[in-house]
Amino acid sequence: MTTFVLIHGGGGSAWDWHLLDAELRGRGHDVVAVDLPVEDESAGLREYAETVVEAIGDRRDLVVVAHSWGGFIGPLVCDRVKADLLVMLTAMIPAPGERPADWWANTGFGKRDIDDPIGQFMHDVPAELAAEAMTRSREHTDKAMREPWPLDRWPDVPTRFLLCRDDRWHEPDFMREVVRARLGITPDEMDGSHAPMLARPKELADRLEGYLTGRS
């Protein structure tokens, strides 16, 4: 049995994973998904990672999946626990010493206005589900956004990047270049928006299981 450790993105919550959670458990796997302390003004990047590590406890056979802003946290968790694989899911890839708030400028992402969050992040998510996701959005405090990413190198863990071809936020051409520049690998790809765990949970579960069997 594999334990999938699911780390949500900025302003998200463990709820974001509930469809994927059910899909993975139905296939005989264990799942750890927690709310990062994004609303805690005293919490920094290490506290976010510690929240995940505490939830993992003594579980083994770990696959860590980090989504979007959670890409700053997934590698920190893998630096603390022994994971078999880190999957960066349309995620931000940090550089040593980089502040999360600087990532957009450092990578050339640029500044964008979010006039239509559902259209930009969840355009293929069923309307009622997307609306519920918006009601669950949480404010992200400044400390974790403005402190330097604490590792001086990428953790010693096999790493895959799963890119979404229909992502309107982390656009595919942009992310392909960031992945090659920062991880030195070619990303894997699937269809879907920035929220595949809500739009395509079965397909995403298939892809994650494929990493275990060598099919992906």
pLDDT tens-digit series, residues 94-115? 999 999 999 999 999 987 778 8
Strand partners, 160: 87
Instruction: Read off the DSSP letter of residue 187.
Output: P
Indicate the domain borders of the chain.
3-213
User: For residues 117 and 123, what is the distance between their CA atoms, to the nearest angstrom?
Assistant: 9
pLDDT tens-digit series, residues 43-91? 999 999 999 999 999 999 999 999 999 999 999 999 999 999 999 999 9
pTM: 0.96
Q: Average pLDDT of 197-214?
A: 95
Neighbouring residues of 199: CB distance < 8 A, sequence distance ≥ 6: 122, 124, 125, 126, 192, 193
Homologous superfamily, domain 3-213: Alpha/Beta hydrolase fold, catalytic domain (3.40.50.1820)
Amino acid, single-letter form, for residue 179: V
User: For residues 20 and 90, what is the distance between their CA atoms, to the nearest angstrom?
Assistant: 16
